[in-house]
Amino acid sequence: MLFSIATLFVISLFVNYFIQRNQLLSNALSVNEEYAHKIATSTDLHFHGIQLELKYSASVLATSPNNDQIIDQELTRILKQSQYFNSVSFVKADGHLAGFAPLTLPFKKGQVMDTTATRLSLKI
């Protein structure tokens, strides 16, 4: 009889351990899922803000794509006003660099931007 009671006690300890372990894992996963959702939502909001800024600048630049003064003004504006960019450039559909900011970048207006990233973005 004592053996039966001891066996039941040991079994109940193992069952209790596994139940608590599963509950802790479930709670931890739930907390991590909520945190990941908050991070994803915040990231989406940041990207939406970036897209709105770029959409506005694209509309300004589309009105005068050959006016160097407007191009330079808009690139300088978005660089100084935005918290998202440390440099900006305007590349025409033919791949020629029409403008960039800050002017300390190692580029020259009119140079052909022939990188993989430029080619891919111009295809879109």
Place of tokens 């931890």: 28
Q: Is the pTM of this model over 0.75?
A: no
CA–CA separation, 87 vs 102, rounded Å? 6
Q: Which of 70, 69, 41 is nearest to 58 (CA)?
A: 70
Q: For 60-115, write each residue's pLDDT tens digit.
A: 999 988 899 999 999 999 999 988 899 999 988 888 899 999 888 888 888 988 88
DSSP 65: T
Instruction: Give counts: helices (H), strands (E), the chain.
Output: 3, 2
Asked, as a colleague might, if the bond just before 102 is cis with ω within 30 of 0, I would say yes
